[in-house]
Amino acid sequence: MKFADFILPDAVSAEVKASNKQGVIREMVRSLVDAGGIKESDYEPIVKAIVKREELGSTGIGRGIAVPHTKHESVDRLVGCIAISADGIDFESLDCEKVQLFFLLVSPYDRPGEHLRTLEHITRQLKDDTFCRFLKQAKSKEDVLQLLEEADNNSFGK
Amino acid sequence: MINNIKKTLTVNHACGVHARVATILAKKANEFVSDIKLIKGSYAADCRSVLDLLTLGAFKGDRLELVVIGEDAADAAGAITALFDAGFYEE
């Protein structure tokens, strides 16, 4: 698997404007709409579904990373976006650390395996300290896309 | 006294070790002082870390090796095993 398989390049942001949990979720789902990954009419239902999932337990998985997600009938393949907050946002993570790196995923109902494989891919890549640190320091969308491309070309952890 | 426990657990949960399941495991592991690892192939995950657990990519039917080292190893191994047996208390 590669980041290019599911991250929509036009839905990558190195400058999160929101300052709270729901705000960053809204901003990221909006970026998926703007990038053509989901329909405008699905914006609000998907935001609500992701917020509801967060109520079951935060997807802040530690080390300043969160993977908010939901399944939704409107997508026929898993689509994702990335947002980076230099200052970090309180996401109620298990380790109580603020989150700087957000990977938001929307996946079809009938493919739970694809969702698990995607989480596996993201977390294995982020275990590489250099990749994780560079992503958190990224200043522009172009920086992020360059880092993702390098990760897809196995440039990290070698 | 330091105890060392090693056993094999099978993932019975339909959706595998996804984020919510990993969170349940990590919270439970944090109740103990022992070092708790779950291993699949060449990946060893610290059971206290949700991020680590997700790197396993553990699907239904996968067999994971549980390795627990520490003073409360027996209790910790029992608690982690119970979660696997109960399907992590999810539907």
Confidence check: pLDDT of A157 > 60: no
pLDDT for B90 beyond 90: no
pLDDT > 70? residue A72: yes
- Give the closest of B15, B43, B50 to A62, CB-based: B50
Please tell me which of the candidates B15, B26, B54 has its beta carbon nearest to residue A123: B54
Question: In A, residues 17-76, which contact B (CB 8 Å cutoff)?
Answer: 56-59, 61-63, 65, 67, 69
Domain range annotation of chain A? 3-151
Residues 99-158 of A with CB under 8 A from B: 112-113, 115-117, 119-120, 122-124, 126-127
Q: pLDDT for A89-143, tens place per residue? A: 999 998 899 999 999 999 999 888 999 999 999 999 999 999 999 999 999 999 9
The chain B residue lying nearest A54, using CA atoms, is: B20
The string of pLDDT tens digits covering residues B37-88 is 999 999 999 999 999 999 999 999 999 999 999 999 999 999 999 999 998 8
User: For the domain that residue B72 is a member of, what is the CATH number?
Assistant: 3.30.1340.10
- Catalytic residue (one of A69, A72, A115, A121): A69
Three-state SS annotation for chain A = CCHHHCEEEEEEECCCCCCCHHHHHHHHHHHHHHCCCCCHHHHHHHHHHHHHHHHCCCCEEECCEECCEEECCCCCCCEEEEEEEEEEECCCCCCCCCEEEEEEEEECCCCHHHHHHHHHHHHHHHCCHHHHHHHHHCCCHHHHHHHHHHHHCCCCCC
Is position A115 annotated as part of the catalytic site? no
Where is pLDDT greater, at B15 or A23? A23
Q: Do B51 and A61 lie within an 8 Å CB cutoff?
A: yes
Q: Which domain holds residue B18?
A: 3-89
Predicted confidence (pLDDT) at residue A158 exceeds the cutoff of 70 = no
Within the 52-91 window of chain B, which residues sit less than 8 Å (CB to CB) from chain A?
52, 54-57, 59
Q: Tens of pLDDT along A34-65?
A: 999 999 999 999 999 999 999 999 999 999 99
- Fold of the CATH domain A3-151: Mannitol-specific EII; Chain A (3.40.930)
How much of chain A, in percent, has pLDDT values that exceed 70? 99
Please report which confidence band the pLDDT of residue B91 belongs to, taking 50, 70 and 90 as the band edges: low
**What is the number of domains present in chain B?**
1
pTM assigned to the model: 0.93
